[in-house]
Amino acid sequence: MNSSGLCEIMRLSGEKFRLTPYRQNVRFWREGLNLYIDSIMATAPQLTEDRKTDLKSLTPGKLQQYCTELGLQRFRADQLAQWMYQKKESDFSRMTNLSKELREKLEESACIRTIEPVFRAESADGTIKFLYRLHDGHRVEAVLIPDFDEDGQPKRMTVCISSQVGCVFGCSFCATGKMGFFRNLTCGEIADQAIHINDEAEKVYGRGLTNIVYMGMGEPLHNYESVVASGHIITSKFGLGMSPKRLTISTVGLGKQIRQYGEERQPFNLALSLHAATDEKRDQIMPINASMNLNDLREALKYYHEQTGAGVTYEYLLFDHFNDEEGDARELARISRWIPSKVNIIMYNNVEGVELQRAKEERLDRFMKMLTDQDVLATVRRSRGDDIDAGCGQLAIRDQQKKGKSLVKN
């Protein structure tokens, strides 16, 4: 295959991989092809061993299509969604507003898989981490992060949910990246995390979720269709009925998907995991930068803004003596002016085996002053749940002994 053919394979995975020496080129070809295959598999309904369709693996549109193919009226899809997500029912025999004949037909051809909570840890600061087992034995995590007012009453309930089992992109600071990639989550597996934790928040703190961030295990835009579909499920009357603007989908910077997100005018907020403001430093910690550098990101984000009029949040983990210097603040300020934006400075949850460490408080204060002096709208997100390993992937990686696929060589 010639170089143009290799580039085309890379584009199929959603990114423009630069040409490299032969051996590395072959590796990127293989990984690009794997990513392309993964993206196809993510859109296919999941089947059980007896060839039954998992209805929670279907997007709302595909659930309607499934009902049509069974000879059912389209409103049956709404009834099924209400039973699955609002009433949390997985037994067709208890879906009493469906005829006995229809329930029997569904029993023959379909099933409803649910996630199973297997571990729960509560931090001294109120953060609660959940570990879920999926039908195939894989495990994923989600974290409830409450904020309290001066009287200690909960004023904001944020959940951080996962979109994949592991992650292929191998960011050096991320526990999930050390796992490698195993598979995408279905839209139902993603939505179920938010719905289950909403119940937990109401039980523990007396109020439901106010915000949902897709910043847990995995790269959300690598699982584009299921992630977007889960957002529509969560915000529907059959889910949690939340405003779409209460959901934020994060990405390490997949340009094709950012453009698609803009073209489709998806109603959810977009966040970019930046973490370094120069290509030199981003190359060191985020392998994706080899295929989607800052110049490419700028063009993708400008296109997104042109299509939607919306801004972006830059997520910036502050690492001690790595990306917290005056020059970093100056470059971050420059990036913040690409399109309307705000910057979220995040204090890192240190991960065992990772050389990068959380920045010291005095360096954070200095960095924030440099940003505000340059008129950057910036906030700080404090580290939460250190005592329960609240950084995404820190629990699941203990149970995943084998290594999944990764852009990073072992």
Q: Enumerate the active-site residues.
A: 141, 392
- Please give the backbone phi and psi of residue 266, each rounded to the nearest 5 degrees, phi first: -60, 140
63 half-sphere exposure, CB direction, 13 A CA radius: 25
Residue 113 contacts by C-beta under 8 Å, 6 or more apart in sequence? Answer: 46, 54, 56, 57, 90, 134, 135, 186, 188, 189
- 3-state SS of 19-40? CCCHHHHHHHHHHHHHHHHHHH
**Residue 39 contacts residue 11 (beta carbons within 8 Å):** no
Six-digit token string for 175: 């526990």
CA gap 276, 318 in Å, rounded: 9
The whole-angstrom separation of Cα 261 and Cα 220 is: 12
> Strands 247-251 and 211-214, how do they pair?
parallel
Helices (H), 223-337: 224-235, 255-263, 279-285, 294-308, 326-336
Q: Is 386 helix (H, G, I), strand (E, B) or coil?
A: helix
